[in-house]
């Protein structure tokens, strides 16, 4: 999940032109909006659709930047392979969610225009065209650049026909013993209905004919996803070891199956075989208001998703027309939804290569560092840990700081502290073997009151979260499943502790999930504080989760959908007021996406008033920067690299009395209006310095940063030479290492 530049057959710097589908801006139309009470430098029609980029095409621009990391020869070879895999995962989700949603709107005859003035069908057509080009570029990158580079490194992915007869026999033996028993051919004929094709599964379309019958039969054979998708030749022709060696050849599993189908279909004529892959819609919705129970509703959604409408069919380019036509007819597809591909269609299978011991092909390993404030603290001494947080707020930054050594230690200390009365936490996504959940269960067993908000509607994590809900309830823990009409997207935890002077509240407000694995790869910030106002705000928030009433006011937290939109709007407008009064005015906002048209309009108005605005937006951005008279003072950049930029930081200059905020919400309609979010102020001056350092590192990056122009095109910055290279992730890694070294030296001296 990242982004960058350079390609085969065309530069990714061209991604805002005609092929992008974005509409160029026109001269602003001067009008006066009688409903707008704000005073702007020059009033224009800010409802003009040409001022807003398309949400779907903007997301595909992000995926192009992800693909560029695979094209970029400056990256280690396995890192390039990783980004090919990431692009497959990203586009699979894009088709399941976004293309699926557009298709639903088309079927329902929705004619409402998007903020950029397009119907669902217009968007669907443009998206399929753009995605087709992107998938073609992925294949070209692999075939023309990555595959030859792998071969140069002694790692070959070869055709089955290139193997010697002895090697073919060895793989046939492997197929017969380890693969064949897992296969289940499903035939389509007058006696058998067309087989169900599961979502994202790779399948072989096999046409056969009985020797005494001229009729052709179609069968589907699923390539098992629980076997390695690349099979090492040497592992099965040498000493019998199943561990691939460092200089070897691989054959795609699908090709091994294809060339040994006579064992699956004996005594028939094999006419032809071809690979295909199906993607189904994930936009299955149910009315929560009338659902008998939320758990039952989620289980129904998961069931229906298995059989949902197909939104994409990928087929091999040489697939016989009869097979293609049969699949299109039976899956009820439009020809536009058929994508001709070469193998591999699913690049996630290439991750088999990472089992090879080839450190020279990998990115330099990163080990999250101890946080200076947590150094010397442990879960076995909760008094020391909570005293340290009470002394001064703590800001942690993952993956530069260890998740286990900070968040894990905090929760573990609370779980085993007899003075802790209650622990409350929100779980949106968490690891399948979550240590966080196990810690909460341990706390309950120790007699602590534990309440957990588990969001069952977290897309693609519903099944995992259902398992945790059942486990938590079995342990007698208070579990809330979600709220009607809203997703609980907050990343918050609260510890209630009895101390000598009463009850103290310890809060953790984060930009990321309580997920120990993603914390190693996603950049996220977390604020630990004993601020009583934030603590009481979290008490109110958790009472909303487990009760039924929503609080209208909060002391310090900005909470969606209660006051977050209102407060963010107020903060933006305050900067505009400062600018109009001739005072210095500046906004810096870092987030995953800016999609909400109302917030885009507020930023346009602030820019027209003279506010300097720097936006660091990883993915979707509706806003057009640099439009004369409208957004001249706005810059938009996107940083892509080894870590996924996931943190949200908001800075408002406020005439020299700045305010900083961190939290879970982007500026998207769903975050501001349809999710429960929490953003906290960062008030400690030293922590503000840390946030400023993060923003400076991102905005100084000249290696991984892309800048957007007013047409929605992105261009990657490039350092003049290696000595001048500034890479944000490297800068922050070095900063964390220096902090750890400083603490170690201080401890040694003491």
Task: Point out the residues that are catalytic.
Answer: 489
Listed in sequence order, the residues at least 6 apart from 390 whose beta carbon sits closer than 8 Å to its beta carbon are 504, 506, 530
Q: DSSP class of residue 177?
A: I
A 10 A CB-CB count for 272 gives 14
What gap in Å lies between CA 647 and CA 694, rounded to an integer?
Answer: 10
- The answer to whether residues 204 and 258 touch, using CB atoms and an 8 Å cutoff, is yes
What gap in Å lies between CA 6 and CA 623, rounded to an integer?
Answer: 24
What gap in Å lies between CA 64 and CA 33, rounded to an integer?
Answer: 38
- The answer to whether residues 256 and 179 touch, using CB atoms and an 8 Å cutoff, is yes
3-state secondary structure of 270: strand
**What does 675-688 look like in DSSP terms, one character per residue?**
EEEEEEEE--HHHH
How many CA atoms are closer than 13 Å to the CA of 337, on its beta-carbon side?
26
**Between the CA atoms of 418, 420, 426 and 431, what dihedral angle is there, to the nearest 10 degrees?**
-30
Q: Which helix (H) or strand (E) holds 617?
A: strand 612-617
Q: Which long-range contacts (CB under 8 A, 24 or more apart) does 689-694 make?
A: 690/395, 690/397, 691/395, 691/525, 691/649, 691/651, 691/660, 691/662, 692/651, 693/735, 694/397, 694/525, 694/590, 694/647, 694/649, 694/732
Residue 542 backbone dihedrals phi, psi, to 5 degrees = -70, -30
- The answer to whether residues 567 and 659 touch, using CB atoms and an 8 Å cutoff, is no
State how far the alpha carbon of 5 is from the alpha carbons of 57, 131, 149, 210, 643, in Å: 17, 17, 19, 53, 17
The token pair at 487 is 């997703």
Listed in sequence order, the residues at least 6 apart from 395 whose beta carbon sits closer than 8 Å to its beta carbon are 525, 526, 527, 528, 662, 682, 684, 687, 690, 691
**Between the CA atoms of 591, 593, 594 and 595, what dihedral angle is there, to the nearest 10 degrees?**
-160
- The answer to whether residues 297 and 291 touch, using CB atoms and an 8 Å cutoff, is yes
The token pair at 256 is 């091994």
The token pair at 650 is 């908001």
How many CA atoms are closer than 13 Å to the CA of 561, on its beta-carbon side?
13
- The answer to whether residues 347 and 82 touch, using CB atoms and an 8 Å cutoff, is no
**What does the buried/exposed string (b/e) look like for 359-382 if buried means 16 or more CB atoms within 10 Å of the residue's CB?**
eebbeeebebbbbbbbeebebeeb
Listed in sequence order, the residues at least 6 apart from 363 whose beta carbon sits closer than 8 Å to its beta carbon are 75, 76, 78, 79, 642
DSSP alpha helix (H) spans, 233-313: 234-237, 253-258, 294-306
What gap in Å lies between CA 741 and CA 498, rounded to an integer?
Answer: 35
Q: How many helices and strands in the chain, by DSSP H and E?
A: 20, 27
- The answer to whether residues 673 and 565 touch, using CB atoms and an 8 Å cutoff, is yes
Residue 131 backbone dihedrals phi, psi, to 5 degrees = -65, -35
How far out from the chain centre does Cα 153 lie?
A: 31
**What does 463-477 look like in DSSP terms, one character per residue?**
HHHHHHHHHHHHTT-
Q: 251 forms bridges with which residues in the sheet? A: 231
């Amino acid at each position: 999940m990242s982004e960058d530049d350079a390609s085969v057959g065309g530069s990714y710097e061209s991604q805002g032109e005609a092929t992008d589908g974005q509409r160029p801006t026109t001269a602003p139309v001067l009008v006066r909006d009688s409903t707008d009470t704000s005073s702007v430098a020059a009033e224009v029609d800010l409802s003009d659709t040409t001022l807003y980029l398309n949400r779907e095409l903007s997301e595909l621009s992000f995926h192009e930047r992800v693909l560029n990391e695979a094209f970029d020869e400056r990256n280690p070879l396995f890192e390039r392979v990783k980004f090919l895999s990431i692009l497959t995962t990203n586009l699979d989700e894009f088709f399941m969610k976004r293309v699926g949603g557009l298709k639903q709107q088309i079927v329902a005859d929705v004619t409402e225009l998007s903020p950029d003035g397009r119907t669902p069908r217009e968007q669907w057509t443009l998206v399929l065209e753009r995605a087709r080009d992107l998938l073609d570029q992925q294949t070209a990158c692999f075939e023309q650049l990555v595959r030859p580079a792998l071969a140069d490194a002694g790692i070959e992915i070869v055709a089955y026909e290139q193997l010697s007869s002895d090697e073919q026999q060895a793989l046939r033996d492997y197929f017969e013993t380890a693969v064949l028993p897992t296969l289940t051919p499903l035939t389509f004929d007058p006696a058998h209905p067309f087989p169900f094709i599961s979502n994202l599964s790779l399948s072989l379309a096999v046409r056969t004919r009985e020797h005494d019958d001229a009729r052709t039969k179609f069968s589907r054979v699923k390539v098992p996803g629980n076997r390695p998708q690349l099979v090492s030749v040497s592992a099965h022709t040498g000493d019998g070891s199943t561990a691939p060696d460092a200089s070897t050849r691989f054959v795609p599993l699908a090709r091994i199956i294809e060339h040994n189908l006579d064992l699956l279909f004996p005594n028939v004529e094999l006419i032809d075989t071809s690979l295909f892959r199906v993607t189904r819609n994930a936009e299955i919705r149910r009315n929560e208001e009338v659902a008998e129970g939320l758990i039952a509703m989620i289980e129904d959604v998961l069931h229906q998703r298995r059989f949902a409408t197909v939104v994409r069919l990928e087929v091999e380019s040489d697939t016989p027309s009869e097979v293609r036509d049969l699949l299109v007819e039976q899956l009820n597809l439009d020809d536009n939804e058929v994508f001709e591909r070469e193998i591999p269609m699913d690049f996630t299978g290439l991750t088999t290569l990472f089992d090879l011991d080839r450190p020279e092909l990998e990115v330099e390993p990163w080990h999250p560092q101890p946080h200076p404030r947590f150094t010397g603290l442990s879960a076995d001494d909760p008094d020391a840990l909570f005293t340290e947080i009470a002394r001064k707020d703590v800001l942690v930054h993952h993956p530069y700081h260890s998740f286990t050594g900070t968040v894990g230690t905090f929760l573990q200390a609370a779980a085993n502290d007899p003075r802790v009365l209650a622990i409350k936490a929100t779980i949106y996504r968490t690891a399948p073997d979550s240590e966080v959940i196990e810690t909460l269960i341990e706390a309950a067993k120790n007699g602590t009151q534990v309440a957990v908000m588990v969001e069952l509607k977290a897309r693609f994590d519903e099944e995992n979260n259902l398992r945790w809900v059942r486990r938590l309830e079995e342990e007698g823990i208070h579990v809330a499943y979600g709220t009607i009409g809203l997703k609980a997207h907050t990343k918050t935890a609260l510890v209630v502790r009895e101390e000598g002077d009463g009850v103290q509240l310890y809060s953790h407000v984060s930009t990321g999930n309580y997920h120990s694995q993603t914390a190693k790869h996603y950049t996220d910030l977390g604020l630990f504080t004993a601020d009583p106002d934030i603590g009481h705000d979290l008490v109110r928030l958790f009472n909303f989760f487990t009760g039924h009433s929503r609080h209208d006011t909060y002391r310090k937290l900005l909470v969606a959908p209660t006051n977050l939109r209102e407060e963010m709007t107020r903060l933006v407008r305050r900067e505009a007021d400062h600018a109009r009064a001739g005072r210095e005015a500046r906004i810096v906002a870092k987030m995953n996406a800016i999609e909400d048209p109302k917030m885009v309009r507020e930023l346009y108005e602030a820019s027209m008033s003279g506010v300097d605005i720097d936006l660091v937006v990883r993915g979707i951005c509706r806003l057009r920067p640099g439009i004369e008279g409208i957004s001249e003072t706005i810059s938009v950049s996107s940083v892509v690299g080894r870590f996924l930029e996931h943190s949200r930081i908001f800075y408002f200059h406020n005439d020299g009395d700045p305010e900083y905020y961190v939290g879970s919400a982007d500026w998207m309609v769903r975050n501001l209006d349809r999710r429960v979010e929490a953003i906290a102020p960062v008030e400690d001056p030293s922590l503000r310095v840390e946030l400023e350092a993060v923003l400076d590192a991102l905005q100084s990056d000249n290696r991984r940063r892309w800048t957007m122009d007013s047409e929605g095109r992105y261009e990657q910055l490039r350092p003049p030479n290696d000595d001048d290279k500034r890479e944000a992730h490297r800068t922050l890694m070095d900063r964390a290492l220096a902090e750890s070294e400083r603490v170690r030296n201080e401890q040694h001296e003491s």
